Amino acid sequence: MHALLTTTKMEARLLTREPLMLFFGIAFPSILLTVLALMPRLSEPDPNLGGVRFIDYFAPSLVVLTLAMIALQGVPNTLAAYRDEGILRRLSVTPASPALILIAQLVVNLAAALVSTALVMVIGRLAFAIPLPRYIVGFTVAFMVGITAMFALGLVIAAVARSARAASGMATVTYLLAIFFGGVMLPRFLLPDAVARIGAYVPPGVQALTDAWIGSAPPQTTHLLIMAGIAAVAAVVAAKLFRWE
C-alpha cells in the first residue's frame, strides 16, 4: 500500500508538469461552457430542444470531452512513453511492480476527471443556473461505467501500440471518434439519426449521461450494460496484449 501511495503521488506530480493535459483535460471544458453560456441565443430556451437551453443540453457533452481527453490521450500516451523509455522494464526487476504505475495512472487520471466534471457542474450551476444532474445516482453510475470503458480502451491502445508515436496517433483517432459521437464536434440533435443512435452506445455514453442530467428518466439499463460489456472486453484484451517492455 505504501508503494502504491508513493507511486500515485509521483504520478500526480508528473501530471502537474503537463500544462497541455491540465488545460485541455481539466480547465478547457469549463472554459468552453463559459464561452457558450455568454452567447445570448444559447442561454435561452430552445423550442427545438423541448424548451431546454442549449447550454443545459450541451453540458453532458462537456463531460464526454473531459473523459475522452483524459482516458484516451493521457493514459495511453504516458504508458507507451514509459515503455519506450524503459521505465516499465526497469521496474519489473525491482520490488516495485510495474503494475503500480498502471494503477497509479488510473487513480490520478480518475481524480483529474472528477475535478474537471465537478468544475463544469459548479461553474454551470453558480454562474449560469445550469441544473445539476436530475438523477445523481444514475449520473454517477453512468460516469463510472463510461470512464471505466474509456480507460479500458486507452489501455488497449497502450497495449497494441509499438511506440509512443504510434500510441499518440491511435489515441488521437479514437479521441476524435469519441467526441464526434459524443456530440462535442456537432450537437447530437444536428447529427443524422443513425449516427446519434450509435453514439448512444459509444463510450463514455453521452445518452446515459444526458438522460441522468436533463432527462425525464434515469439512464437506460441497455446503454449501461453495453458500455460495461465494452469495458470488460477491452480490459481483457488489454491484459492479454499489454507488454511491459
Mean pLDDT by 10 residues, the chain (245 residues): 77 85 93 95 87 92 94 90 81 65 88 96 95 95 96 93 90 94 89 92 93 90 95 92 79
Bond preceding residue 204 cis, omega within 30 of 0: yes
Q: What pLDDT, on a 0 to 100 scale, did the predictor assign at position 94?
A: 62
**What amino acid is encoded at 136 in this protein?**
I
Residue 241: the pLDDT is 87
CA atoms within a 13 Å half-sphere pointing along the CA-CB vector of 197:
3
Neighbours of 70 (CB within 10 A): 28
* Nearest of 33, 111, 105, 37 to residue 65 by alpha carbon: 33
Q: Distance between CA 198 and CA 181 in Å, rounded? A: 7
Quick one: pLDDT at residue 93? 62
Report the alpha-carbon distance of residue 214 to residue 134 in Å, rounded.
6
Cα 9 from chain centre: 21
Integer Cα distance of 168 and 178 in angstroms: 15
The pLDDT value recorded for residue 50 is: 82
Can you list the alpha helix ranges (DSSP code H) found in 92-205?
A: 99-128, 136-160, 164-181, 193-199
What is the residue extent of each domain of the chain? 2-241
pLDDT of residue 83: 85
pTM as predicted: 0.91
